[in-house]
Structure 1
Amino acid sequence: MPASGPEPFHRALAALRSWLQEGRFAPGAKLAAVELAEELRLSATPVREAMARLAGEGVLEERRGQGFYVAHLTRADIADLYRVHLACLLMALDPSREPVWIAPPEAETFASPVAATESLLGRVLALTGSAALCDVFQLGQTRLGPVRRLEPEIFPDLEAEAAALAAGAMTGGPPFIELVRSFHLRRLREVDRLGDLLDRRARTWRG
C-alpha cells in the first residue's frame, strides 16, 4: 500500500539520487521500477518519472523498449566530473565572494570519509546561495558518487584527508583552497585506476 507524505515524484527522485550516489547499483545495471517502487512504498509511475528525469541528467541511460540503466562513466567522464567538481568549489571560494567558512558539525557522524567530504563540500557550495552553482555541483556529486566509493581502494589516508579538509574549512582562505585543489588533483592523477575499478565492478555485477 503506497504511503502518504511528500509528493511521490520528489520522494522517488531523492531516494534514487541517494542510492545512485552511494553506489548501490553498478554501472550498466538495469533498474527495476516496480521493485524499487515497492521498496519505497510508491506506485511505479513516480519512480519511472524520476528515472526519466535522471536519464535527462545523464545519471541513467534510457534504452528504448528496455528500461533504465545506470550510466557507465568512461575515464574521460570521470576526469571531467572531477574537474567540474573542482571548478564549482573554486568559484564558491573565489575571494570576490563573501568568505566561506564552515562551523564544525554538531554530533554529525558519517558512514565513511567519502560521505564526510561529500557533506562538507556540499555545505561549502550551499553557503554561496547560488542555486545554479549548487545544482551543477550536486549533479556532479551524484554522478561521481560510485567512483568516489572506490577511492578507499587507492587512497589509504582518506580519514586523515577528510579531517584536514574539515579543519581547513573552519578557517577558510587560501590554505583551504589549496587543500581543495590538492584533493582533486590527486584523484585526477588516478583516473585510469579508478576507471579500472569501476569496470571491474560492472563486470562483477553482471556475473
Structure 2
Amino acid sequence: MSPAHVIEPTYEAIKRRLMHGHWPPGTRLEAARIADLLHVSITPVRDSLYRLTGERMVDFTHGEGFHAPRMTESDLRGMLELHLVLMLAALATQVRDSITPVGRLDKGSDGFGLLFLAIARRSGNAELASCIAGLGDRLHIARLADTEILGDTADEHGALEAAYSKNATHPEVRALLLHYHERRAQEAAAYIRHITA
C-alpha cells in the first residue's frame, strides 16, 4: 500500500479525470501510462484503480485489466432512479431547522452535485450522504452534458437551491427533485450519445 501523501493525490487526480471524461468509455487504463502522466510510481496508481473499482468508477476484469466505465441508457436511468430514491430518503429524514451550507460554486464546479450533497448531509445520516456522494461522482460525467442536452439549467438549479436554503416544505423540494430526475431520464439516450461521442 502506498503512503497517504502519495495515494490520495493520485486517487483524486485519476478520479477527477474519470469524472470529466478524460478517458472515453471502455478505454483501457494502463497503470504505467497513468503513472507517467501523473509523475508517480505505478504502485499508487494501481492502489487508486483498485479503490475506484470498489467505488464503481472503474471497471476491472481479470485478464483484461482496468477500463473507464461504459454506461448504457439503462444504466443511466437506473442510476438516476437510485439517486432520486436516496435524495428523497435524505429529504424525508432531514434534521429540521438545520441548513448545511452548499459548497462554494467556482468555475467548473458541479452546482447540482454540491447542492445534492448539502441536502444529503442535512439528513444527519452519514451512510446515506456517502452513498449520494458516490453516486453523484458517477453521474458527474452526465451532468457535464446538461447544458448541451437540456439548455440552460440555471433556473432549475436556482429554484432547487432557493427551496433548500429557505427550508421549504418537503413537498416543494420533493417536486423539484422529481422534475430534475425525470427530465434527465427522458433524455437518457441523448446523454449516452454525448458521453460516448
TM-score by length of 2: 0.84
Residues 88/146 of structure 1: CA separation in 2 closer, same or farther (3 Å cut)? same
How far apart are the structure 2 equivalents of 1:128 and 1:18? Answer: 26
Does structure 1 conserve the Cα–Cα contact (< 8 Å) formed by 2:95 and 2:122? Answer: no
How far apart are the structure 1 equivalents of 2:156 and 2:15? Answer: 25
Identity of aligned residues (%): 25
How far apart are the structure 1 equivalents of 2:46 and 2:69? Answer: 16
Matching of residue 30 in structure 1 with residue 28 in structure 2? yes
Query: Quick one: which amino acid aligns to residue 26 of structure 1?
Result: P
Instruction: Determine which of 72, 84, 92 is the counterpart of 1:86.
Output: 84
Shift of 1:6: 4.0
Q: After superposing the two structures, state which structure 1 stretch, 75-84 or 142-151, moved more.
A: 142-151
RCO comparison, higher one (Cα < 8 Å, 6+): 1
Task: Tell me the equivalent position of 2:68.
Answer: 70
Task: Tell me the equivalent position of 1:171.
Answer: 166
Task: Tell me the equivalent position of 2:19.
Answer: 21
Q: Deviations over 1:52-86 (max 9, x none)?
A: 12223332122334431111011111001011111
Query: Quick one: which amino acid aligns to residue 75 of structure 1?
Result: E
How far apart are the structure 1 equivalents of 2:89 and 2:129? Answer: 11
Shift of 1:18: 2.4
Helix, strand or coil for the counterpart of 1:26? coil
How far apart are the structure 2 equivalents of 1:178 and 1:102? Answer: 20
Does structure 2 conserve the Cα–Cα contact (< 8 Å) formed by 1:89 and 1:125? Answer: yes
Does structure 1 conserve the Cα–Cα contact (< 8 Å) formed by 2:95 and 2:124? Answer: no
Task: Tell me the equivalent position of 1:205.
Answer: none
Instruction: Determine which of 112, 123, 132 is the counterpart of 1:128.
Output: 123
How far apart are the structure 1 equivalents of 2:39 and 2:124? Answer: 34
Task: Tell me the equivalent position of 2:137.
Answer: 142
How far apart are the structure 2 equivalents of 1:81 and 1:196? Answer: 17
Task: Tell me the equivalent position of 2:113.
Answer: 118
How far apart are the structure 1 equivalents of 2:34 and 2:43? Answer: 11
How far apart are the structure 1 equivalents of 2:174 and 2:58? Answer: 32
Q: Deviations over 1:173-202 (max 9, x none)?
A: 232222122111111111122223233x2x
Does structure 1 conserve the Cα–Cα contact (< 8 Å) formed by 2:101 and 2:118? Answer: no
Does structure 2 conserve the Cα–Cα contact (< 8 Å) formed by 1:165 and 1:176? Answer: yes
Query: Quick one: which amino acid aligns to residue 188 of structure 1?
Result: A
How far apart are the structure 2 equivalents of 1:16 and 1:88? Answer: 26
Task: Tell me the equivalent position of 1:156.
Answer: 151
Q: How many residues align structurally? A: 193
Query: Quick one: which amino acid aligns to residue 57 of structure 2?
Result: V
Query: Quick one: which amino acid aligns to residue 145 of structure 1?
Result: H
